[in-house]
Amino acid sequence: MSSSEAPETEGLPAAIQGLAVDPNNPRAAEIVRSLAQHVDLSLLGPDICVVAGGDGFMLSTIRQRGSHPTYLGINAGRLGFLLNDVGDSAVLADQLERRAWTVTAFPRLRVTAERVDGTTVTALAVNDLYMERSTGQTAHLQVRINGDVVVSRLICDGLLVATALGSTAYSYSAGGVPCHPLVRTVLVTPIAPHVPRLTPMALPTDALVEVEALDIHRRPVRAVADGVDLGPVVRMRVEDAGDEIRLAFLESHDFTRAMFRKVLRT
């Protein structure tokens, strides 16, 4: 492998080779190299997984490693709402050495989707799950909540179900309300609704949301879980997974301040 083809994580100290560092993010590797000069990351313990990258890399790491570790994210991306911001490496190292973080458990959603070919796929999501049109045709969706038909035919681009933690991502872009991450709720947000003008809804975490695609041969749709395409589907069922992931945030992190500064740009 030539030097130009070498992964960005090459040359990292052996003690942090097992950590999650985005190989496609040069800044992530740079941050970890600098941090390793101040603190031995291997001393954080086997239950702490330090993730250096962006929100997308954090989500992919959680998919790969599951709910066992506690994830301590270091933001090397843009928004980094799921991670800790990086300031001075020495200050960050001091907080890590003192284990000056708070661990918060966040719920995950489970989607069970029936594909067009009749097979079933399941997936978990920290942020959101959605069904959206996959061609130029609008999607026609029937929406049920706790077994009741809320909309018999929603003409739209799609429908999204998000956790409070994920409310500041696609849901917010689609017109949903940004929600404080510590609020226990499930947000249902129509994507570009045409008829009827269904508004976003905040529901209890035990809500069951079912979406069925109508006229699928003319109006095909797909399902997506935390950015992963699950393929063409006919219907999906979204519910509380009964499973939580743990994120560690350093003492310098404040959810409310982060929401206003990063998301609302105030």
Overall residue count recorded for the chain in this entry: 266
User: Which among 150, 255, 261, 245 is positioned nearest to 207, based on CA atoms?
Assistant: 150
Q: What are the catalytic residues?
A: 55
| Both tokens assigned to 204 | 């209890």
User: Which among 21, 55, 196, 77 is positioned nearest to 128, based on CA atoms?
Assistant: 55
User: Which among 259, 252, 224, 253 is positioned nearest to 79, based on CA atoms?
Assistant: 259
User: Which among 110, 107, 106, 112 is positioned nearest to 124, based on CA atoms?
Assistant: 110
Helix (H, G, I), strand (E, B) or coil at 124: strand
Pairing mode, if any, of strands 228-250 and 20-21? unpaired
| Both tokens assigned to 179 | 């929600």
Q: What is the DSSP letter of 190?
A: E
Radius of gyration of the chain (CA): 20
User: Which among 145, 131, 38, 150 is positioned nearest to 91, based on CA atoms?
Assistant: 38
Q: What is the DSSP letter of 166?
A: T
User: Which among 30, 95, 68 is positioned nearest to 249, based on CA atoms?
Assistant: 95
